[in-house]
Chain A
Amino acid sequence: MNLTLKVWRQRNPSEKGGFKTYKISGISADMSFLEMLDVLNEDLSDKGEDPVHFDHDCREGICGMCSLYINGQPHGPHQTTTCQLHMRSFKDGDTITIEPWRANAFPIVKDLVVDRSSFDRIIQSGGYVSVNTGGVPDANEIPIPKVIADESFDAATCIGCGACVAACKNASAMLFVSAKISQLALLPQGKVEKRERAEKMVAQMDKEGFGACTNTGACSAECPKEIKLSNIARMNREYFSASLSTENV
């Protein structure tokens, strides 16, 4: 198929960016979206033009490195990662607009590459159980009801790609933060620190400049791992109960 691509190009954070239009032909329906961009980049390189920079790594939908705002939707038309999006989702003659994630807390590095280290800093603020290596109890010493373990798992599948932020008009990171808070708050191992964790992670989220929740649910609707909106409710509950009580008596 033949396509027209409108791609955001920006040499570096300080320079002004803009859309550039490229025609591309010979795209097969079996290609992934990123393989289509590979073809574009080979074409550009052959012509001596700087290839389009975009983040990607595993191309299996799990590392969370690929991003891209495609025709106004994070990761494109399906609820999957861009690397798992295939060209059979598009038609011959289509025009496709490709932008980077747009959020203050995700500054642009180059072209379609953004800096998501704010997510790392949120995890560093409390997204863990404080145990050192060694000296832990036998794995089967703490039975966990299967439904609880499964619910915790559903939250834990978050890949940290940032689509939730990109989907939100307020660029809120609540779905990402609440997924980690939920995963750990549900499990007995994580309960010990759940209040402090909620307070610290929410504080860091605010500090990074993410917006407030709109309650529209766009984040969950666009999440490639289908992280549920109910996690945000759980996060709010943890956060408010933390502000009403203290663990340090």
Chain B
Amino acid sequence: MKLDSKIPSGPLAEKWTKHKFNVKLVNPANKRKYEIIVVGTGLAGASAAASLAELGYNVKAFCFQDSPRRAHSIAAQGGINAAKNYQNDGDSVFRLFYDTIKGGDYRSREGNVFRLAEVSVNIIDQCVAQGVPFAREYGGLLANRSFGGAQVSRTFYARGQTGQQLLLGAYSALSRQVANGKVKLYPRTEMMDVVVVDGKARGIITRNLITGAIESHSAHAVLLCTGGYGNVFFLSTNAMGSNVTAAWRAHKKGAFFSNPCYTQIHPTCIPVSGDHQSKLTLMSESLRNDGRVWVPKTQEMAEKLRKKEIAPKDIKEEERDYYLETKYPSFGNLVPRDVASRNAKYVCDEGRGVNETGEAVFLDFRDAIKRDGEDAVRGKYGNLFDMYQQITGENPYQTPMKIYPAVHYTMGGLWVDYNLMTSVPGLYALGEANFSDHGANRLGASALMQGLADGYFVAPYTVGDYLANLPYEKIAEDHPEFKKAEDDVKARVKQLLTINGDKTVDHFHKKLGKIMWNHCGMARNAAGLTKAKEMIRSLKEEFWSNVKVLGTGEELNLSLEKAHRVADFLELGELMIDDALHRNESCGGHFRDEYQTPEGEALRDDENFAYVAAWEYQGDGKDEVLHKEELVFENVKLTQRSYK
């Protein structure tokens, strides 16, 4: 089967404009005859649901949280990129496009990425119009900062809470449509399956998390805006509830899953402190603008630090190794995330880590405070410093922060074409849930941009194009396919509740996380991956025979919710391993020990691997089939990424 990305022909800069003209339109009076399901209410979901409802479609919006405002987009700290060139520093749509393609290590589509850069400017206008209080200069105009991996200042921000402010903007637009009666909200409701009738997505099955009721929802199109799958690692910066279930169930119903092995390990997170830890906390990448990353030059010195025999301030300037500044003079501490993370791992592997576990490096603000004063630093990062102190009990104004990489974002996701449609007609994936724009590595401040681009400015056009060819009649919710999907979900609930084993769900989740982190984390190799596959298979077997899920299916039952999610993570984990094992190259966040340059940088193999891997589900326990979408580069030249 040949995957058709449906990238419009013609010059790069004209593709989207041309496509917008070519898409079919639905008559305004007919839009109300269509019903669209949006699953997830983060940036992608809330913006899509609101925008589609404004156009006149009837929308049902689902989220598992108690309110749409809680989706995990809210936790994004640093900012959102846009090619506004307000700073007159040489930015342009083409430069943002180029940086994003290069940052993704040439594993994303030119057409999609250019469109993303193109609509980025509209996003900022939209958010400001909604009342999003972005940071401003004294003259009243918008402020910008530079962000990891970019040499221009194109990042718009709202202190360290940009995601919160953007999500509350989208949530307010969504709320307005709820009041208008165009959106019906279903909070505390989890999607359990997609219903496919005659090859088209025609609805979903949900579980009401309060009552346990399994329900059918019929619609003309289904949009999955359900985020990433970083929690497969157990410890990540994702929210506790973030999961792959919606995307995975769609995958099992025929939607291809792309590049699952591309995971982003964020360099600046608070290090793990013990086994009790439930999640990791990110310290915004923006801190790298003013903080300097270092470890002691010698192992002996690091050991003394670990034993607390000396404090960081006792280490003299000439005994400090500012390894990013030395190794990458032009980008310094602002190298992209994958490069920063890998180098932190290298110095810690050399025994130069600075905390008790030996897995931490310093992020030091001493020089910034000396240069700009403590107040200026507080003005920029106050809330982040407070958060750090809250969690670690250390004051970062006086002693350097300790940071270590942690799983943060997943570039892989459901395969989509240019219209953001998956391989199942009528089923779309937006935001982090799809694979499309970040290649093998995402640049900082690009996730918010993509979520809102997909929701505000792409889906409203492309979904209409699909609906225009669809009859108004909905499939009845008592159609045999709905009935069958409902029965399958009920059977699975029952199965989980009757295993009655003696290990909790978290036990399995933690074990899976360890396997993934050790063998499919910051660096991977064939031997480790092969071993991990076996380990996951037996863990999965053990899960289905020995998990303990208490309570009933007809009430709020947190362990049952979690059991569903972990069961899906177990299956996804195996696919991630397969994907990582088959990709015999290193690129972006996927680093194979066997494939590196003499300097230890990722060594791509463009001849054999310049494609999108799209995996097709074959049935329980069977190896999935790989489809390849060749990546065509007409506007950029593939080079070895260099930040030196």
Are A and B interaction partners?
Answer: yes
User: A residues within 8 Å of B by Cβ?
Assistant: 11-12, 28, 30-32, 34-35, 38-39, 42, 45-46, 48-51, 53, 55-65, 78, 80, 84, 86, 88, 109-110, 113, 115-117, 119-120, 123-134, 136-140, 142-146, 149-150, 152-153, 156-157, 159-160, 183-184, 187, 189-190
State which residues 230-277 of B face A: CB under 8 Å.
Answer: 237, 239-241, 273-274, 276-277
Would A128 and B173 be within 8 Å (CB), given that A51-B559, A156-B165 are in contact?
Answer: yes
Interface pairs A-B: 9 shortest CB-CB? A143-B140, A128-B172, A136-B129, A153-B133, A139-B128, A133-B51, A58-B239, A57-B239, A63-B70
Cβ of B504 under 8 Å from chain A:
yes
Report which of A28, A34, A51, A110 forms a contact with B274, defined as CB distance below 8 A.
Answer: A28
Report which of B50, B130, B135 forms a contact with A189, defined as CB distance below 8 A.
Answer: B130
Cβ of B281 under 8 Å from chain A:
yes
In the complex, chain A residues whose CB is within 8 Å of the CB of B65: 57, 63, 65
Determine how close the nearest CB of chain A comes to the CB of B125; give it in whole angstroms.
5
A56 CA / B175 CA spacing, docked (Å): 22
Would A42 and B504 be within 8 Å (CB), given that A58-B72, A153-B159 are in contact?
Answer: yes
Q: Is the CB of B391 within 8 A of A86?
A: yes
Q: Is the CB of A86 within 8 A of B556?
A: no
* Chain A residue at minimal CB-CB distance from B139: A143
A56 CA / B171 CA spacing, docked (Å): 19
CB<8 Å pairs between A and B, sample of 6? A28-B274, A55-B66, A64-B70, A120-B68, A152-B133, A156-B158
In the complex, chain B residues whose CB is within 8 Å of the CB of A123: 69, 171-172, 175
User: B residues within 8 Å of A by Cβ?
Assistant: 47, 50-51, 54, 65-72, 74-75, 84, 86, 122, 124-131, 133-142, 158-159, 161, 163-165, 168, 171-173, 175-176, 178-179, 185, 187, 210, 237, 239-241, 273-274, 276-279, 281-282, 387, 390-391, 393, 456-457, 460, 504, 506, 548, 550-551, 555-556, 558-559
Would A115 and B66 be within 8 Å (CB), given that A123-B172, A133-B456 are in contact?
Answer: yes
Determine how close the nearest CB of chain A comes to the CB of B510; give it in whole angstroms.
10
In the complex, chain B residues whose CB is within 8 Å of the CB of A143: 139-141
A60 CA / B390 CA spacing, docked (Å): 10
Question: Which of A28, A115, A134 has the most chain B CB within a 10 Å cutoff?
Answer: A134
Determine how close the nearest CB of chain B comes to the CB of A23; give it in whole angstroms.
18
In the complex, chain B residues whose CB is within 8 Å of the CB of A160: 67, 69
A146 CA / B74 CA spacing, docked (Å): 23
Determine how close the nearest CB of chain B comes to the CB of A85; give it in whole angstroms.
8
Q: Is the CB of A50 within 8 A of B159?
A: no
Q: Is the CB of A84 within 8 A of B391?
A: yes
Q: Count contacts between A and B, CB distance < 8 Å.
A: 211
Q: Is the CB of A45 within 8 A of B239?
A: no
A88 CA / B391 CA spacing, docked (Å): 10
In the complex, chain B residues whose CB is within 8 Å of the CB of A187: 131, 133
A113 CA / B551 CA spacing, docked (Å): 16
Q: Is the CB of B161 within 8 A of A80?
A: no
A114 CA / B50 CA spacing, docked (Å): 27
Would A120 and B550 be within 8 Å (CB), given that A45-B559, A139-B142 are in contact?
Answer: no
Q: Is the CB of B84 within 8 A of A117?
A: no
Would A63 and B239 be within 8 Å (CB), given that A50-B550, A132-B54, A133-B54 are in contact?
Answer: yes
In the complex, chain B residues whose CB is within 8 Å of the CB of A110: 555-556
A139 CA / B158 CA spacing, docked (Å): 14
A134 CA / B129 CA spacing, docked (Å): 10
Q: Is the CB of B137 within 8 A of A189?
A: no
Q: Is the CB of B457 within 8 A of A142?
A: no
Would A184 and B75 be within 8 Å (CB), given that A109-B210, A127-B175, A128-B175 are in contact?
Answer: no
A165 CA / B5 CA spacing, docked (Å): 51
In the complex, chain B residues whose CB is within 8 Å of the CB of A61: 387, 390
Contacts A39-B276, A50-B551 known; list 7 others, CB within 8 Å.
A124-B178, A125-B179, A133-B50, A133-B54, A134-B456, A134-B457, A137-B129
A49 CA / B74 CA spacing, docked (Å): 34
Report which of A11, A56, A129 forms a contact with B240, defined as CB distance below 8 A.
Answer: A56
Determine how close the nearest CB of chain A comes to the CB of B363; give it in whole angstroms.
18
